[in-house]
Structure 1
């Protein structure tokens, strides 16, 4: 049986490239992100050994649904790669945008890691890769206060 990996944020950027790499290494890849069309294009490129699960991880219920829909598939690798940044003055950025960023970049990573980790521990197998920005290691910077935090 092929090893299975779940990659969030697989519709573009680093997530898309990690999904390609895992597929080339023989993994069955579950692609997850908000943009279904991009996920379907990638799934077509990668072949039959993929599955698409459209999910907006900024929504806690969607994180739970993603876990529930995939937990029976014997996932051995979880890649938390969904994320985004908002640029602008802290006093001018919409609060809703910043809360969605926190939910995507922090809450979703926490939830999915916790949910899958308990399965990995029970099965005595599994790997988790959390993709993060080096901005988190800095003292902050202009125009992205919430992202840096």
Structure 2
């Protein structure tokens, strides 16, 4: 199989769409999912149904924004627009979305400790995205400088 940039972008777009569907499914099915979880772990989670819903729907906002940002980033890349200021802004948005989701999970760890792992992972991904954003910003600066050099 001959793998190229276009196939990679198409696969990434497919994955973004898949995650959009999963996010929508989780938001729609959250009441059922958490009732099942609480029923299975009655002693640990009794009375925390509403907290799970609040955490899920609060974290869904930055998750949806991140998926939209990923879609825009992939669209720009597929159009050959890689080192542009808009992509730097999108990467900044993605990093803040990860940090926001990490904060939601950090507060959610007060009632369910496994959220602490998710919080740390989200914060770490947010940090990596900040570094990538800084690299892109420097690349945009160098590209602009190079474009104006005769």
TM-score normalised per structure 1: 0.33
Question: Greater Rg, structure 1 or structure 2?
Answer: 2
Which structure's residues are more often strand, by fraction?
1
Which structure's residues are more often helix, by fraction?
2
TM-score normalised per structure 2: 0.33
